[in-house]
A and B are shown apart, each in its own frame.
Chain A
Amino acid sequence: MTPVVEVEHLEKRYGSFVAVEDVSFTVDAGEIFGILGPNGSGKTTTVECLQGLRRADGGRLSVLGHDPRREAERLRRRIGSQLQESALPERLKVSEALSFFSSLSPSGTDWETVMEQWGLAEKRSATFASLSGGQQQRLFVALALVNEPELVFLDEMTTGLDPASRRVAWDLIRRIRDGGATVILVTHFMDEAENLCDRIAVIDDKRVVAVDTPTGLIDTYAPDAVVAFSTDETDLTFLERLDEVDAVERSGRHVSVTGSGALLAMVAAELVGHGLAPTDLRVERADLEDVFLQLTTREQ
Chain B
Amino acid sequence: MGTLARLSWLELKLFLREPLTVVFSLALPLIILFVLGGVFGNEPSRPGEQLVYRGVGAMDYYVPAYLSLVVASVCVMSIPTHLAGNRERGVLKRFHASSVGALAVAGAEVVVAFVLSTVSAVLLLVAAALVYDFDRPDSVLGVIGGFVFVTVGFAAFGILLGSVLPTARAAQAVGMVIWFVMLFLGGAGPPPEVLTGAMQTMLDLTPLWHAVKVMQDVWLGLDPGLSWLVFAGIAVVSATLGVYFFRWE
Measuring CB to CB, which residues of chain A are less than 8 angstroms from any residue of chain B?
Answer: 51, 53, 73, 76-77, 81, 83, 85-89, 91-92, 96, 100-101, 103-104, 127, 140, 143, 147
Contact = CB atoms under 8 A, between A and B. Distances in A.
A85 B14 contact: no
Interface string B15-26: 001100000000
Given A53-B93, A87-B90, A89-B86, 20 more contacts: A81-B98, A83-B97, A86-B90, A86-B91, A86-B97, A87-B94, A88-B91, A89-B14, A89-B91, A91-B14, A91-B18, A92-B14, A96-B13, A100-B6, A100-B7, A100-B10, A101-B98, A104-B3, A104-B99, A104-B100
B181 to A, nearest CB: 30
B17 A91 contact: yes
B96 interface: yes
A51 B14 CA distance: 28
Contacts of B96: 53
A53 B98 CA distance: 10
A153 to B, nearest CB: 9
A76 B97 contact: yes
Contacts of A76: 97-99
Most chain B CB neighbours (cut-off 10 Å) among A76, A100, A103, A143: A100
A88 B90 CA distance: 7
A81 B97 CA distance: 7
Given A91-B14, A100-B6, A103-B6, A51 B94 contact: no
Contacts of B1: 103
A73 B99 contact: yes
Interface string B103-132: 000000000000000000000000000000
Nearest to B10: A100
Nearest to B11: A89
B89 interface: yes
Contact of A83 (B3, B13, B94, B100): B94
B94 A96 contact: no
Count class of interface residues, chain B: 20 to 34
Interface string B41-64: 000000000000000000000000
B18 A87 contact: no
B90 A85 contact: yes
Most chain B CB neighbours (cut-off 10 Å) among A73, A89, A100, A127: A89
A25 B89 CA distance: 32
Contacts, number: 55
Contacts of A89: 14, 86, 91
A83 B98 CA distance: 11
Contacts of B17: 91, 127
14 contacts: A53-B93, A76-B97, A76-B98, A77-B99, A83-B94, A86-B91, A86-B94, A87-B90, A88-B91, A89-B14, A96-B13, A100-B7, A101-B98, A140-B94
Given A88-B91, A89-B86, A51 B99 contact: no
Interface in B63-90: 86, 89-90
A83 B90 contact: yes
Given A100-B10, A104-B3, A86 B100 contact: no
Contacts of B97: 51, 53, 76, 81, 83, 86
A127 B14 CA distance: 10
A85 B87 CA distance: 11
A45 B248 CA distance: 15
Nearest to A78: B99
A104 B101 CA distance: 11
Contact of B89 (A87, A91, A103): A87
Nearest to A92: B14
Q: Which 6 A-B pairs have the closest CB atoms?
A: A86-B90, A86-B94, A91-B17, A87-B89, A81-B97, A87-B90
A247 to B, nearest CB: 51
B8 to A, nearest CB: 11
Contacts of A88: 91, 94
B98 A143 contact: yes
A53 B247 CA distance: 11
Contacts of B14: 89, 91-92
A83 B97 CA distance: 8
A76 B248 CA distance: 15
Contacts of B86: 89
B10 A92 contact: yes
A96 B10 contact: yes
A140 B13 CA distance: 21
A203 B18 CA distance: 44
